[in-house]
Amino acid sequence: MLVAVTLAALTLPVAAVGVTPKWMWTPAQAQQQAQAASEQFQLPSGDGIWIVRDPADISGCRGVGKASQGRFGSFRCKAKMQTMNKIPFVAATKMLWFKVRRQGAGQVCASLTGLNGISAGCLNPSGTRVASVRRFDAWEAASHWAGGPWKESHPLAQGQQIRIGQGGLLAYGGGYFDYSWTIADMSTGEVVETHSLRMILTSAFTGAGNCLGAGCPPLPGIIITQTS
């Protein structure tokens, strides 16, 4: 009986033992991925909205939490960043926190306020997203949507001004964005309503140019998941 048990144990598959998911990275890989995603970041903090000007300004990445064969699913890095919603611009070194979105080989979902500040929506592993879209292209796509199809369908927006600022875009990485804009009265300039949307990019697209009103062609690959 002992021999039979031993032989049975020897036939158990061992390939799954110690296998590290491909979305877990070494600190060096994490730094490369964060640098590659730097043009996607437009991150809020208590003192402004911050961007990374140069991918090389992200450095010193370290794994956070439990490791598996030297790889992690969460990281922190140092990042030289600049405000984009304050004039004059302010530069500072920030701690960039991110988790790896568990889809494919992984995608970066970042925060400046800690791991708990990372959007659960960004981390949602369902669906394939394009994570190489620059923050300006995402802003342009959202502006195209808000100033065109959305404005045309909203009763209070007819004949009014849609105020769309680049500071209204928050970009977390992983093809995931939050966006806000306002309706302003054309005659007084007073804000009538403020709206927001959550946007996921599912395929590549070319910029919308200056087409922000009625008659703009639709942009493919954009899923609006929430509006208010």
Q: How do the pLDDT tens digits run along the chain, 228 residues long?
A: 433 433 333 333 333 446 788 889 999 999 999 999 999 999 999 888 999 999 999 999 999 999 999 999 999 999 999 998 777 889 999 999 999 999 888 999 999 999 999 999 999 998 888 777 778 777 777 777 777 777 777 877 888 877 776 568 899 999 898 888 888 888 888 888 888 888 887 766 555 555 555 556 556 566 666 554
Strand partners for 195: 181
User: Phi and psi (nearest 5°) for 208?
Assistant: -85, -5
Q: Tokens standing for 107?
A: 């995608």
Q: Distance between CA atoms of 102 and 108, rounded to whole angstroms? A: 9
Q: Distance between CA atoms of 86 and 97, rounded to whole angstroms? A: 23
Name the pairing type of β-strands 41-45 and 48-51: antiparallel
Query: What contacts 24+ positions apart, CB below 8 Å, involve 104-107?
Result: 104/22, 104/23, 104/128, 105/22, 105/23, 106/22, 106/23, 106/24, 106/25, 106/33, 107/37, 107/131, 107/173, 107/174, 107/175
User: Phi and psi (nearest 5°) for 149?
Assistant: -55, -40
Residue ranges per structural domain of the chain? 27-118, 135-227
Give helix then strand counts, H and E, for the chain. 5, 11
CA 67 from chain center: how many Å? 24
Does pTM surpass 0.85? no
